Amino acid sequence: MAPQRSVRLSLKKPTYAVCVVGVETSVDVHSAVPKGAETFGVSGSPGVEVFVVYDPARVTGPTGKSRWPLDVSVEVTVSVDAASKDLNDLKVKVSYFGQHQDGALGHSVLYLTGVDISLDVDTHRTGKVKRSHGDKKTWRWGPEGYGAVLLVNCDRDSITSRGPDLTNSQLASLDDLQDMSPMVLSCDGPDRLFDNHKLVLNVPFSDSKRVGVFCSRGGHSLEHYKQVLGPQRLSYEVERQQGEQKISFFVEGLTFPDTDFLGLVSLSVSLVDTGTLPEVPLFTDTVAFRMAPWIMTPNTQPPLELYACSVVDSHGPNKKFLEDMLDLALKTNCKLIVCPQIENRNDRWIQDEMEFGYTEAPHKSFPVVFDSPRNRGLKHFPYKRILGPDFGYVTREILFAGASSLDSFGNLDVSPPVTVGGKEYPLGRILIGSSFPKSGGRRMAKVVRDFLQAQQVQAPVELYSDWLSVGHVDEFLSFVPTSDQKGFRLLLASPSACLRLFQEKEEEGYGDAAQFDGLSYQANRSINEMLADRRLRSDSLYVQKCIDWNREVLKRELGLTERDIIDIPQLFSLKGSYAEAFFPDMVNMVVLGKHLGIPKPFGPIINGRCCLEEKVRALLEPLGLHCTFIDDYLSYHELLGEIHCGTNVRRQPFSFKWWHMVP
């Protein structure tokens, strides 16, 4: 809102001014006063409200005749309640009087033209634009908050477009308008007023590369829509037609929040008097938007699509694995999408390549794939095959350096919603693996960490994963949904739990039962041999210390207790100074609702059953979960990955609206 304008009156001739509906205009009753005048009276024609503002400590209000002392503390303001039908059809009259005279010493006349100018957006976050008289240029978080939301227009609605829609200054599809936030300019007033006044839409220079504005003039077919504001256009003189009272605009976001962008942008409209030199803005209305963040979805959200890759190795194709994935997907009514070898170039690690999330505004939501900077065989798959209508794409590239293993998105996870010391995280918290604090080891690239932090709604937690050869958090943790009040459990790989289990089986007389029994391509190791292997025990106990360090961080940062954590038996061995799973890593599972696709551990067979599988079933099935153990040994485990690494899941967005939280 522009500062209150002041209009100076004249005793010699009428004064003319434009008054915006709902905006008070100050009338200067002190500058042009007849000689001997000590009081004044003021009146307005119908449609004009006149206010006299004074300090009661200095001035006594009039009684009887409405005459006010010409004291500097007495001020007059006027406002209009509707747009004028004609120029100068509203009138304010000021009469000046002497101390003992009934007749006026002089009169000043002010003719007003009312004009209704308002820039409105979905301030109340209902999905529709409504006229707002409140604060439109401030954005507030929370259930009682206000302020409009912009979607980053990062999908591709037209098959003829080469990139995301945000790269186009021309509208490629009318469907693209649905991805934009509506904005309405009210501009009611006499047409003749706009002969010497204009409306100018503006975007600050700092926001111009973050936002684009489209408007249709002359029709509503594709060719009528033009970008009127954006990176190359900081202002736009509105083309108002005769009699036009409302003009619709469509606003798109061009970039997600990041380290150099807090997510807030503003647009404004000004009514400018072109009859003066220099031209004078009479009124400005400003609206604020916040860019909708990219949001991850945890394992507790229902699955929609399961992705996996078709690959061929020296031992043959992974056909059986894909069949197992299809069976699992069918159990949860989840669609399986297989990336063919010609597109993945035998890169099977589809979890490492990308992470599915979504973005949401009150009027629309759509999924967005975050493409990791690893750039291996699957490099082009997210951009070429997933980016499309109502499916967005975002990436962050590492400049001047190559990606490390920790930049892959097996090293990126998110917890279910948690409350920590009274602080609510209704969308969970992002988890990323890193080096031990102050150790100088491998870390996820700063450009990715900065992006995740800047989204604000899923405050990231750094864990210690650099002790692993691959270095990903999904090698030692996972979350599974439960139907109790907590809603989930954290699963942690546990060498100590595995050693205890094997010790129990040895004491029960099953010491000769062998790990990898039945695998022709892997030497058997009996329980007795494994327990006697000091190197294996030492390696696993070292790994347990690393996991225990993360356990305490997770308890502290996610507000967990020991009751919320389940230890999954797992052994590790060191190769040099880094750890690798000794047998298929069971926490590296795919979670599809209540159905878990778990790497088959090929544990010791006791009474016809794998004791590792039986232990995991005993831990998880009482929670209502269904465990399916899947052979991933040759195609994944031997290459230092498992099922989670080789699959990816797009999940249902949260029902909770991110703008209702307070970061």
Per-residue burial over 33-62, b = 16 or more CB atoms within 10 Å of its CB, e = otherwise: bbeebbbbbbebeebbebebebeeeeeeee
Amino acid symbol at 517: D
Separation CA 452–CA 459 (nearest Å): 8
Active site residue: 197, 472, 637, 644, which one?
Answer: 472
| 429 and 414 Cβ atoms separated by less than 8 Å | yes
Say if strands 15-20 and 106-120 run parallel, antiparallel, or are unpaired.
Answer: parallel
- In terms of Cα–Cα distance, which of 432, 345, 409, 462 is closest to 645? 409
Active site residue: 352, 371, 585, 632, which one?
Answer: 352
- CA distance between the termini of the chain: 28
| 296 and 302 Cβ atoms separated by less than 8 Å | no
Active site residue: 122, 347, 474, 567, which one?
Answer: 474
The tokens describing 173, both together, are: 């599809």
The tokens describing 58, both together, are: 């200095």
Angle 349-352-358 from CA coordinates, rounded to 5° = 125
In 301-417, which ranges are E strands? Answer: 303-309, 312-313, 316-317, 335-339, 354-361, 364-371, 392-395, 412-414
- In terms of Cα–Cα distance, which of 629, 524, 646 is closest to 568? 629
**Residues whose CB falls within 8 Å of the CB of residue 304, separated by 6 or more in sequence, listed in order:** 334, 335, 649, 650, 651, 652
Clarify whether 645 is annotated catalytic.
Answer: yes
Active site residue: 339, 498, 546, 645, which one?
Answer: 645
**CA distances, 30 to each of 51, 63, 69, 74, 309 (Å):** 16, 21, 11, 9, 81
Clarify whether 474 is annotated catalytic.
Answer: yes
Report the length, in residues, of the chain: 663
- Name the residues annotated as catalytic: 352, 472, 474, 645
